[in-house]
Amino acid sequence: MTYAIIGSGAIGTALATQFARNDIDVLVANSRGPASLADLVGRLGKNIKAASVQEGLKADIVILAVPFGSVPETVRDAAAWNGRIIVDATNAIDFAAFTPKDLGGRLSTDVVAGFVPGARVVKAFNTLPAAVLAAIPRRTADIVSCFFQATMPRPMPKSRRWPRSLDSPDLISANSRTGGLPSLAAL
């Protein structure tokens, strides 16, 4: 299983920190290219590999940690998705006013799914501030709830494995309570 994070800002760095902490290899890409990631790679260590966006988009699981408005441009040159997984961490927000974007009644993840035909789309990590995501330690008494929702009809069996491996000792449950409704993972 290969992983990539597209976006190396607050959320991308927080997630890369968790990959590093759990000794899982991940590619990280941003809009400025691999050379700009030298500091991050140096700080987080051997599991974190700088990549181009195009390289990152070939991974089995691609985490989108870019502004919502950048999603179409980010995924434009992706190879066929063929059921590979996109994890959508974006929030469809107008940041200046901090109000939801008008999506004409569509769910933001449905909009994202429209840009990645053939991908299985999981909405995750968007409800947690980057600082919280980055800070979750292994083996803690604290519980952090991470809501996620998937577009696939039977969402969890495969994806269950990857958040589990991200912070396995503390993942208490990742149940898809009622099919399409939000699920709760307790990290």
Ligand X SMILES: NC(=O)c1ccc[n+]([C@@H]2O[C@H](COP(=O)([O-])OP(=O)(O)OC[C@H]3O[C@@H](n4cnc5c(N)ncnc54)[C@H](OP(=O)(O)O)[C@@H]3O)[C@@H](O)[C@H]2O)c1
Note whether 18 and 44 are within 8 A (CB).
no
Q: Is 70 in the site for ligand X (CB under 6 A)?
A: yes
Decide: is 163 part of the binding site for ligand X (CB under 6 A). no
Pairwise CA distance, residues 67 & 23, whole Å: 27
183-186: strand order across its sheet: 48-50, 26-29, 3-6, 61-64, 85-88, 120-124, 145-150, 183-186, 174-175
134 and 118 in contact (C-beta within 8 Å)? no
Stretch that binds ligand X, among 6-14, 109-117, 135-143, 159-167 (CB under 6 A): 6-14
Contact string (CB under 6 A) for ligand X, positions 78-97, x = contact? -----------xxx-x----
Least distance (Å) between residue 157 CB and ligand X: 26
CB 129 to ligand X: min, Å: 4
Nearer to ligand X, 90 or 159 (CB): 90
Measure Cα distances from 96 to 7, 31, 99, 100, 140 in Å.
Answer: 20, 22, 8, 11, 36
| Closest residue by Cα to residue 167 from 12, 5, 24 | 24
50 contributes a contact to ligand X by CB under 6 A: no
Task: Kindly tell me which residue out of 12, 34, 155, 163 binds ligand X, with binding defined by CB under 6 A.
Answer: 12
Give 35's DSSP letter: G
| Nearer CB in complex with ligand X: 14/85 | 14
Phi then psi for 146, rounded to 5 degrees? Answer: -125, 110
Nearer Cβ to ligand X, position 73 or 142?
73
Q: How many residues bind ligand X (CB under 6 A)?
A: 25
- Positions touching ligand X (CB under 6 A) are 6-12, 30-32, 53, 65-68, 70, 73-74, 89-91, 93, 126, 129-130
